[in-house]
Amino acid sequence: MKILNCPLNGPRNILEFSYGGEFHPMPDPSRCGSKEWAEYIYFAENQAGLVTEWWYHLASSYWFLAQRNTITDEIVRTFEVNEVFSERVEFSTQPEGDQNNG
Amino acid sequence: MPFGLLKFGLKKNYPGNHRFTPANKALKNHYDVVIIGAGGHGMAIAYYLVKYHGVRNIAVLDKGYLGGGNTARNTAVIRSNYLTEEGVTFYRESVRLFQDLSNEFGFNIMMENRGQLTLAHNDAAIRSFRWRAEVNQHLGVRSELVDRKTIRELVPDLNLSEEARYPIIAGLWHADGATARHDAVVWGYARGACARGVELHQLTEVQDITVTRGKVTAVETNRGRVECGCAVQSVAGTSSVLGMKAGIRLPIHSYPLQAMVTQSYKPVLTPHISSPQLHVYLHQTSRGEVVIGGGTDPYPLYNTRSTLEQKESLAAAVIELFPYLSQVRVMRQWAGITDMTPDYSPIMGLSPVKNYYLDAGWGTWGFKATPICGKTMAELVATGKVPTLIQPFELERFYRFEQINEAGATAASH
């Protein structure tokens, strides 16, 4: 059994967690171009080595970040998102110039 | 003939040319075409280039040995019962080429038309099978929705009990489904290519790719620098890592896929069986071993280690389908790294770097595409024009949000 150390729930079986993708700063979907958006949602670094990525604890609906070595399969460190985000990120919900279309 | 066979059997050295071992040659400092990766795909591209397009100055470079990557690790399933028109048309041509490959090579690839049966355990699966069967039949691929009675006739030993955890309620029968000896496919292509002048360099790792003014000009290897007119990336499991050497970021995540094989038993199972719900597929090889594979691991990794969880889940699923296999022993297990794309379709064709061609993102569907991928990629390299059959699979599709959503791609995870 592989153990992942959850910042909220402590060491748990890795099967309790779901991989959530590489950590990249998200562009504002209503302001960025379609190329930038395509790269954000489809393209990946997919690095062999140390990576930072999202993980999710299924039972407690808790998102956090982990540093993992994709060659040795070692989880080096897990940490809470407030290490990266100091404040809430707000995105506009409507595309630029489209505010009046209701 | 039986006496001839007996003589072969008693001979110390088997007289037939049953595998291909390339000669060691010095690496030249220039080739017109450098193909990175000596797997089925890379050797097929070289073969079609030299045989049908007259391109002679070709080097195939591999960091390991011929056919030692995912060509050796796949579970040798050949089928064309996909869901999208683009996918079905492409794999249909591949199955057709496979049928004639032994004649093409003069070398037996042990092609066997076993048929493939995908199992439905719920209504949603039946709906998707009906859809796939309609698309397949429209495009001339033999697929049909079959009921439990037909399933019992096709696979008498399958557990059709309604007491099972996920009872089998219908199936998608694909009469064109087949298998072939994967090593023989790459040896056949390599033998044919090398006989016509292609150079195959094993233990030759591409460590860097030189791009000058947007065009590939050379590759750096552990054996020195090689200039090239064009280069083809044809690797599996390290598509992203190699692509980044040319400055190309790809829409790929690499996951291990674990498989295993049992000891040999008498023939009991003819078709391929796959169950998307149980995340398992299996067939019995002509040597009698039962080959078992499943879905990919739950998170990306560049490591072919095994996990007990995955093996246990494969075993549990197999025993549910075939309870009599509960006493068989697992002889070998392994994993391969699958380069998964967001739409479960490959990436073939042009790249952002001029004269650098992509043959990547083959996830769990690479072996079955070997002949048609080689043929079409060779045409692209020789003529500079993207063949119609592979146009939909270009990298650009992700920027246009025109994915080829291939829900029929992996027998196990859809």
Which of B352, B357, B305 minimizes the C-alpha distance to B333? Answer: B305
Q: Residue B218: what are its φ and ψ, rounded to 5°?
A: -160, 160
Distance in angstroms (rounded) separating the CA atoms of residues A22 and B406: 23
Nearest to A46 among B253, B307, B399 (CB): B253
**Cβ pair B412, B294 in contact under 8 A:** yes
User: B358 to chain A: which residues are within 8 Å by CB?
Assistant: none
**What is the spatial distance between Cα B252 and Cα A68, in angstroms, rounded to a whole number?**
18
pLDDT value for B406: 87
| Of B17 and B228, the one with more pLDDT | B228
pTM (global) more than 0.90: yes
Whether the CB of B383 is below 8 Å from some CB of chain A: the reply is no
Mean predicted lDDT score pLDDT of chain B: 94
| B309 touches A: beta carbon within 8 Å | yes
Q: Is the pLDDT of residue A92 over 80?
A: no
B300 Cα to chain A: minimum distance (Å): 7
- pLDDT at residue B256 in the model: 97
Q: Does A43 touch chain B if contact means CB atoms closer than 8 Å?
A: yes
Chain A touched by B268 (CB under 8 Å):
no
For residue B413, pLDDT over 70 is answered with no
Average pLDDT over residues B244-267: 97
CATH 3.30.2270.10 applies to domain A3-84:
yes
> A43–B249: do the CB atoms touch at under 8 Å?
yes
Residue with tokens 């010095």: B26
Is A19's Cβ below 8 Å from some Cβ in B?
yes
Mean pLDDT for the stretch of residues B277-299: 95
Task: Tell me if chain A has a CB within 8 Å of the CB of B398.
Answer: yes
In this predicted structure, the answer to whether residue B65 has a pLDDT above a threshold of 90 is yes
pLDDT (0 to 100) of residue B13: 73
Q: Residue B329 above 60 pLDDT?
A: yes
Contact B251 A34 (CB under 8 A): no
Mean pLDDT of B268-281: 95
How confident is residue B12, by pLDDT bands cut at 50, 70 and 90?
A: confident
Residue B166: DSSP 8-state = S
First-residue to last-residue Cα distance in chain A: 52
* H helix or E strand, kind and range, residue B249: none
For an interface test with B, which of A3, A39, A43, A68 has the most B Cβ atoms less than 10 Å from its Cβ? A43
Would you state the pLDDT for residue A30?
A: 85
Residue B14 has pLDDT above 70, yes or no: no
Query: What CA–CA distance (Å, rounded) separates B42 from B39?
Result: 5
Percent of chain B with pLDDT over 70: 96
Amino acid A95: pLDDT = 62
- CA distance linking residue B124 with residue B291, whole number of Å: 27
A100 pLDDT band, cuts 50/70/90, is very low
Do A38 and B301 lie within an 8 Å CB cutoff? Answer: no
pLDDT in tens, B100-129: 999 999 989 999 999 999 999 999 999 999
Judge whether A48 is closer than 8 Å to chain B, CB to CB: yes
Return the exposure string of A30-47: e unless at least 16 CB atoms fall within 10 Å of the residue's CB, then b: eeeeeeebbbebbbbbbb
**Cα dist from B100 to B185, B237, B272, whole Å:** 12, 28, 21
Across residues B351-375, what is the average pLDDT? Answer: 97
Question: Which residue ranges form the domains of chain B, and what is each CATH number?
Answer: 27-113+177-252+341-414 (3.50.50.60), 114-176+253-338 (3.30.9.10)
> Which chain A residue lies closest to B401 (C-alpha atoms)?
A38
Per-residue pLDDT of B142-200, as tens digits, reads: 999 999 999 999 999 999 999 999 999 999 999 999 999 999 999 999 999 999 999 99
Cα separation, B365 vs A93, whole angstroms? 39
Examine the pLDDT at B97 and tell me if it is beyond 90.
Answer: yes
The string of DSSP letters for B10-67 reads: H-SS--S--S--PPP-PPPSEEEEEEE--SHHHHHHHHHHHHHS----EEEE-SS-TT
Interchain pair A42, B398: CB under 8 A: yes
Q: Residue B43 has which token pair? A: 């050797």
Of A15, A34, A72, the CB nearest to B309: A15
Please tell me which residue of chain B has the smallest CA distance to A20. B299
Q: What is the mean pLDDT of residues B304-310?
A: 93
Q: Average pLDDT, stretch A73-99? A: 82
pLDDT at A102: 40
pLDDT at site B298: 94
User: Is the pLDDT assigned to residue A99 strictly greater than 50?
Assistant: no
Q: Do B252 and A46 touch (CB under 8 A)?
A: yes
Say if residue B250's pLDDT is above 50.
Answer: yes
Q: Is B238 on the interface with A (CB under 8 A)?
A: yes
